[in-house]
Amino acid sequence: MKSDHELIESINKGQSDAFEVLYYRYRDWAVNLAWRFTGNRNDALDVLQETFTYLLGKFPDFELTASMTTFLYPVIKHISLNIKKKNLRFSSENDISNSEIVDPNTNTNDNISNELAAVLKILPEELREILLMKYIDSMSQEEIAQALDIPLGTVKSRLYRALQILRQDARTRSYFLE
């Protein structure tokens, strides 16, 4: 399997089949991330298109200096928030922190997941974002710092605070190893 860097090198030479491989490698992750920000399927699909159009515009001189997710994360976030703002589909009180979380009943019947969703709703946005980047996007703390353009120490402290809140809440305490 070709690495992202090898694929990018091929795309820089004009090979569209390499772009196709890269697209399918990150498509699902990108659309899920967009959905997390927009809370809307159609908007997420729009973000997907715009994201890969943006990526396409980087060729033929694209040089990937970080991981692909680190590169794409801020792009997807920026496009998502712009689309969301433009569409005005949500009321002002229904901000990103609420719209990001899907109704757990549509995804799982697990009570623990319901409780997790409830605790996540009370987490400050900047803490929740880092928690999700680590546990859903499987990004390292260094990658998170790069993607959000914040110091590594800030990432660590935010993650620590997020976990602290989860640990202190009886509904999510069971996730922690004794």
Partner 1 sequence: MAKYKEQFDDDQNMKVSDKLGKDLNALFKPKLEIPHEIDRLILNKASLKLSRKRSHIHILRWIGPVAAAAAIILFVCLSNMQKQDAGFNTTQTLAAVNTDIDNNGKVNILDAFKLAKIIESKAILDKKWDINGDGLIDNGDVDQIALVAVSLK
Q: Point out which residues bind partner 1 (CB under 8 A).
A: 11, 13-16, 19-20, 23, 27-28, 31-32, 35-36, 41, 44-45, 48-49, 52-53, 56, 59-60, 100-102, 104, 106-108, 110, 112-113, 116-117, 120, 131-132, 135-136, 152-153, 156-157, 159-160, 163-164, 166-167, 175-177
Nearer to partner 1, 92 or 97 (CB): 97
Residue 41 token pair: 């399927």
Q: What is the rounded distance in angstroms from the CA atom of residue 173 to the CA atom of residue 112?
A: 10
Q: Which is nearer to partner 1, 70 or 159 (CB)?
A: 159
* Amino acid residing at 127: L
CB-nearer residue toward partner 1: 57 or 92 = 57
Can you spell out the DSSP letters for 91-140? -TTS-HHHHTS--HHHH---HHHHHHHHHHHHS-HHHHHHHHHHHTS---
CB 35 → partner 1: shortest distance, Å? 6
Nearer of residues 53 and 94 to partner 1, judged by Cβ: 53
- Minimum CB separation of residue 16 from partner 1 in Å reads 4
Tokens of 116: 């997790």
Taking each helix axis from N to C end, the angle separating 125-135 and 152-168, rounded to the nearest 10 degrees, works out to 100
